């Protein structure tokens, strides 16, 4: 597929190839998978810290955040399965989709890195999450609005926690500053993918269900830059094009993560756990 055709496919909200072709007929399903997958994958990455964090309080906090995100993912994917109407529940969607059927942004699937990398990534996501959920609580879709309302409380707490860590690490020691700046340099281009709207998003805005993603970019930048300034960090100029996750084109990392996450249900078809 050429880049031009891919762009056209993005604009039309059509997944270009693969087993999810045809979701254009059901943008809400696609939309819910995007939200659910972001949270499932990020929750998984956070859960990798359990027992290995720098302080016991963070073992607890990161497990708790992982739990929040997996919980949100379960609710969203359950709803996605109902909307799809093909008998797939949240576990079928989490454990029996292939890598190219996942719809998360690339930011969340990157390996967890060091604590600075995890916290910067988390803050970049959390700052977006709060803004997005504040709008989604007004969604015309009542179940989605309900999920968003519950998630918003959690997201505000996450953003405060990760934001404070970004400041603490950026404005801490020379080493912590260096590590945090390196994390920011590596990650800065990834959030651009949050704000790319395609046909799916357009349909959701039109139906009063979803939100206008590009309109979140400016408020997100204001919030994030304010925190980064407090953290004494320099905002990088990174012109990389980072996108593809929403269409199932991922980094090299997601496949490894899913291989681990999905191994049991895939090895024992039909078994209940």
Partner 1 sequence: MTVAAAEDPVKLSEFEARLERGETIEPKDWMPEKYRKQLIRMMSQHAHSEVVGMLPEGNWITRAPSLRRKMVLLAKVQDEGGHGLYIYCGTETLGVGREELIEQLLAGKAKYSSIFNYPTLTWADIGVIGWLVDGAAIVNQTMLAKTSYGPYARAMIRICKEENFHKRQGYEICSVMAKGTPAQRAMVQDAVNRWWWPSLMMFGPSDGTSPNSAELMRWRVKRETNDALRQRFVNLTIPQAQAIGLTVPDPDLRYNAETENWEFGAIDWSEFQAVIAGNGPCNRERLAARRKAHDEGAWVRAAAEAHADKQAARNSEHAA
Phi-psi region of 18 (alpha: psi -120 to 50; beta: other; left: phi over 0): left
Q: Establish if 51 lies at the interface with partner 1 (CB under 8 A).
A: yes
Q: Which of 16, 24, 64, 149 contacts partner 1 by CB under 8 A?
A: 64
**Residue 87 in contact with partner 1, rule: CB under 8 A:** no
Tell me the residue ranges of DSSP E strands in the chain: none
- Number of Cβ atoms within 10 Å of the Cβ of 160: 13
Least CB distance to partner 1 at residue 94 (A): 6
How near is the Cβ of 251 to partner 1 at its closest, in Å? Answer: 18
Report the residue number, 203 or 231, with the smaller CB distance to partner 1: 231
**Binding test (CB under 8 A) with partner 1, winner from 28, 35, 66, 107:** 66
Q: How far apart are CA 4 and CA 152, in angstroms?
A: 37
CB-nearer residue toward partner 1: 68 or 126: 68
Residue 237 in contact with partner 1, rule: CB under 8 A: no
Long-range contacts of 258-267 (CB under 8 A, 24+ apart): 258/98, 258/99, 258/102, 261/44, 261/94, 261/95, 262/94, 262/95, 262/96, 265/91, 265/95, 265/96, 266/95, 266/96
- Closest by CA to 34, choosing from 87, 72, 88, 86, is 72
The yes or no reply on residue 110 touching partner 1 (CB under 8 A) is no
Site string for partner 1, 139-178 (x = CB under 8 A): ----------------------------xxx-xxx-xx--
Please report how close the Cβ of residue 195 comes to partner 1 at its closest, in angstroms: 28
Which residues within the stretch 194-233 sit at the binding site for partner 1 (CB under 8 A)?
none
Q: In the Cβ-directed half-sphere of 189, how many Cα atoms lie within 13 Å?
A: 9
- Cα–Cα distance for residue pair 220/238, rounded to 1 Å: 17
- Convert 234-249 to b/e letters by CB count within 10 Å (16 or more is b): eeeeeeeebbebbbbb
Residue from the set 24, 67, 137, 196 that interacts with partner 1 by CB under 8 A? 67
Binding site for partner 1 (CB under 8 A): 40, 44, 47-48, 50-60, 63-64, 66-67, 70-71, 73-74, 77, 90-91, 94-95, 114-115, 167-169, 171-173, 175-176, 179, 260-261, 263-265, 268, 270-273
């Amino acid at each position: 597929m050429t880049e031009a055709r891919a762009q056209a496919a993005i604009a039309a909200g059509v997944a270009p190839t693969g087993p999810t072709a045809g979701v254009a007929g059901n943008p809400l399903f696609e939309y819910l998978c995007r939200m659910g997958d972001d949270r499932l994958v990020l929750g998984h990455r956070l859960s990798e810290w359990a027992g290995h964090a720098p302080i016991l309080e963070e073992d607890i906090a990161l497990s708790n955040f992982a739990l929040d995100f997996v919980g949100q993912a379960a609710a969203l994917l359950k709803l996605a399965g109902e909307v799809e109407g093909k008998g797939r529940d949240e576990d079928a969607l989490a454990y029996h989709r292939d890598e190219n059927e996942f719809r998360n942004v690339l930011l969340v699937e990157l390996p967890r890195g060091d604590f600075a990398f995890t916290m910067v990534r988390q803050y970049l996501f959390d700052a977006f999450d709060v803004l997005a959920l504040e709008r989604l609580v007004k969604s015309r879709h009542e179940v989605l609005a309900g999920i968003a309302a519950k998630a918003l409380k959690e997201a505000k707490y996450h953003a405060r926690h990760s934001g404070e860590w970004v400041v603490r690490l950026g404005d801490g020691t020379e080493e912590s500053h260096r590590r945090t700046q390196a994390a920011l340099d590596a990650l800065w281009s990834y959030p651009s993918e949050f704000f790319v709207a395609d046909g799916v998003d357009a349909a959701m805005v039109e139906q009063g269900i979803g939100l206008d993603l590009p309109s979140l970019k400016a408020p997100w930048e204001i919030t994030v830059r304010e925190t980064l300034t407090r953290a004494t960090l320099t905002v990088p100029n990174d012109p990389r094009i980072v996108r593809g996750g929403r269409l199932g084109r991922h980094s090299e990392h997601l496949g490894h993560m899913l291989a681990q996450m999905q191994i049991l249900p895939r090895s024992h078809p039909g078994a209940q756990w």
